[in-house]
Amino acid sequence: MRFIALITVAMFVMTSPAIAQTEVQDSPPVIEPQNKMDITTPETMTDATGDQDTIPSPEPIEQPELTPKTPELEPITDTDAKDTQSDILEPLVDGPNNSALEKDDAAQTLSNDPKFSTLSDAIERTDLTQTFQGAGPFTIFAPTNAAFETLPQEKLQMLLKPENKDTLSKILTYHVVEGSVNSDTLLDNIEAEGGNYNIETLNGGFLTAILAEGDVYLLDTGSRIAKIEQTDIEASNGIIHGISTVALPKPNKG
């Protein structure tokens, strides 16, 4: 009996911690908050004793009235307005670059270009400067220096002598046409005339303009051919086209 009692006590001691642990795990303790507060409204809070403390609302801030200040402007007189306009427009009237926008007349344009120096000299020798400075408009088929070099030098020197001024004048006016004929108009007229456009010149003779392999050529009455090498040189009173040969009019009989 005593042995049985000892076994019973030992079994009870061994099973007691497991039982206690099972009870702890199955029933966790509930922790109650010590300071419980109820929030009722944003302005009122209730503590644990049931008393309510009211939070005072912030006092409104008075906004100051802002009145923009308008700067006092002095009235602009008519004189001031005219002076202002004059300051703005003055560079357009008297600016240094405005002279570049103004074109020279045909005589001055030829004189300014080195490759037309022989023609320009011939114009001065024949007193045709005023003609080339006229109101126009004119179209000038201008022989270059290289064009004059195709003439026999003895003949050229003879033409430049004062006694042959009339003959030289007829040759020069044979290169001038009334009206402004630019390259586009010249091509249109050649096409409209079936490929041969006859142009009457100031001396009464005719030049014939033709189109060959994309270039325009002039034929004089002696069948000399001049190629138009440079087109549409603008002057204030017309247009200048540079040509490769000096055209010679048909000499007068008698």
Does 2.30.180.10 match the CATH number of domain 102-243?
A: yes
Q: Contact 128/202 with Cβ under 8 angstroms?
A: no
Q: What is the DSSP letter of 126?
A: T
Neighbouring C-beta atoms of residue 193, cutoff 10 Å: 13
Q: Would you place residue 241 in the very low, low, confident or very high pLDDT band (cuts 50, 70, 90)?
A: very high
Helix-, strand-, coil-residue percentages of the chain, each rounded to 5: 40, 20, 40
User: Does residue 165 carry a pLDDT above 70?
Assistant: yes
User: Does residue 20 carry a pLDDT above 50?
Assistant: no
User: Does residue 70 carry a pLDDT above 90?
Assistant: no
Q: What ranges do the domains of the chain cover?
A: 102-243
pTM to 2 decimal places: 0.60
- What is the structure's pLDDT at 229? 95
